[in-house]
Amino acid sequence: MCRWAKIARSAYYKHFDPQRQSSQRDERDKAKIIEIAQSNNSLFGTEKMTMAVNRQMPDEKPIYHKTVYRLMCINGISSQKTRYQKPKFKHTTPEKTAENKLKRNFNASKPNEKWCTDIY
C-alpha cells in the first residue's frame, strides 16, 4: 500500500502516532541533563554533558552523545563558551617610536645592493 501511495513506510506509521511518547529513560536523562546544566550555569557542551550524565548514573547503560544532543536541543540548553577576542593593537606616538639611528637611505635600485645587520 505504501508503494502504491508513494510514501515511505516510516511516514505511514508516524501518521498513527505523531506525538511519539518519550520513554521513561529519556525522561530520567532529561531531568538529569537539566539538573547538571543548572548546577554548572550551562557551561557543558554535548560531550562534557554526556560524560557527566554517565558518571552520575553508573548502574545504567551509558547514554549516547547524540541522545544528549537531541535532549539538550529539545530543552533549549546550549553551552555558553567565551568568544575569542583578538589582541588589540596599541597605536604609538612618534615620540615613543624608536628613532632611526643609522640615518641612511635604504632604497636600492637592484637586489642585494645594500645590506644592514642588527649588531649593536
**Higher local confidence (pLDDT), 17 or 62:** 62
Question: Sorting pLDDT into bands at 50, 70 and 90, what band is 94?
Answer: confident
For the stretch 18-71, pLDDT in tens is 566 667 888 889 999 999 999 988 888 899 999 999 999 889 889 999 999 999
Q: Which residues contact 16 (CB under 8 A, 6 or more apart)?
A: none
As a whole number of angstroms, the distance between CA 28 and CA 38 comes to: 16
- pLDDT score of 36: 92
pTM of the full structure: 0.52
